[in-house]
Amino acid sequence: MSPGGGCMNRGFSVLLRSATILACLMFFASATVSAQEPLKLGVHPYLSASDLVKRFNPLAEYLGRKLKQPVTIEVANTYDTHIQKIGQGALDIAFMGPASYVILTSQYGKRPIVAAFATREGKVFHGHIMTRKNSPITSLRQLKGTHFVFGDRDSTMSHFVPRWMLLKSGIDVKDFSNATFVANHDNISLGILAGTFDAGAVKEEIFLKYEPQGLRSLARSPAIADHVFVVREGLPAKTVQSIRQALLGITKTEEGRRILAGLRNDVIALVPGEDRDFDTLRVILKDLKKAGVEP
């Protein structure tokens, strides 16, 4: 072999080793960046943002450990924004109220349901139309002429379902002296207690929270399909399956049971959910649409 050929071989060997090292560095750098990219868990604003972050942060940390990928929380400003974000793929995971889920599917198509809330009654929950304990109002029909408060216009239990219940009792919003919409369920309850509003509607969890402070139920809603977790379209199948397994297995440990109770204290498990669970609510929304209430 000529001296020149040996130099060329040695040079080629050095070049090959350098290229291999560079390729490895690029691979590990890419893997590190990928592993650090967080999944976004979106929540609709049924309570204040600070309260929701406090409730959902333990769940995000739990999912992060299970998935070996950070999970961050995003609380939307409105229910409509929340629906748009998951529909347009801006969120990876979304916690959704029943009406929001139905609106999502009607506007953007179905999204995979990875878990659903389950109470001792099953995959359902209730709401209440309520007033103050010392109010002379004792029935829904007596709400005519009063100042009624609703929550977000896309809320299941602070707008759609109670609006349907009122219509079934012969009461439309035009029958109130005033109808107000506020940001969340806490504000509804506190406003009634303060005397700002005569009556309003919230989910049962919030009614029971404030009942000892002076609220009284006028009517309990029918059972409605409970909240669900969905994932965005296009999320890798392996990731979807990992999220599903982590959520459905959350009650296997004491820590997981505490996390779940922190989300809502009457929820005993996360179970598989199906789109058909929401057919009853779809009928209610259809009835409302006929009455001029657009979801």
Report d(CA 100, CA 83) in Å as an integer: 6
Q: What is the DSSP letter of 198?
A: S
What sign does the dihedral 257-258-263-265 (CA atoms) show? positive
Predicted confidence pLDDT, tens digits, the chain (295 residues): 444 554 444 444 434 454 444 444 444 444 443 456 899 999 999 999 999 999 999 999 999 999 999 999 999 999 999 999 999 999 999 999 999 999 999 999 999 999 999 999 999 999 999 999 999 999 999 999 999 999 999 999 999 999 999 999 999 999 999 999 998 999 999 999 999 999 999 999 999 999 999 999 999 999 999 999 999 999 999 999 999 999 999 999 999 999 999 999 999 999 999 999 999 999 999 999 999 998 7
The closest alpha carbon to 117, from 12, 197, 238, 205, belongs to 205
- Please name the helix (run of DSSP H) or strand (run of DSSP E) that holds residue 186, with its range, or none: helix 185-194
Distances, alpha carbon 19 to alpha carbons 5, 11, 159, 238, in Å? 21, 12, 63, 32
Q: If DSSP codes are grouped into helix, strand and coil, which group holds residue 136?
A: coil
Coil vs helix vs strand at 92: coil
Give the global pTM: 0.82
Would you kindly state where each structural domain of the chain is located, as residue ranges? 35-121+226-290, 127-221
Give CA–CA dist 131/163, Å, rounded: 15
Instruction: Return d(Cα 20, Cα 14) in angstroms, integer.
Output: 10
Secondary structure element (H or E) that encloses residue 36, with its range = helix 3-36
- Please, what CATH class does the domain formed by 127-221 belong to? alpha beta
Q: Are strands 127-132 and 215-220 parallel, antiparallel or unpaired?
A: antiparallel
- CATH class in words for 35-121+226-290: alpha beta
Element (H, E) at 87: helix 79-87
CB atoms within 10 A of CB 229: 22
Which DSSP symbol is given to 179? Answer: E
| Fold agreement (35-121+226-290, 127-221) | yes
Q: Confirm if 113 and 131 have CB atoms less than 8 A apart.
A: no
What is the identity of the amino acid at 115?
A
165, 109 contact by CB (below 8 A): no
The radius of gyration of the chain from alpha carbons, rounded to an integer in Å, stands at 26
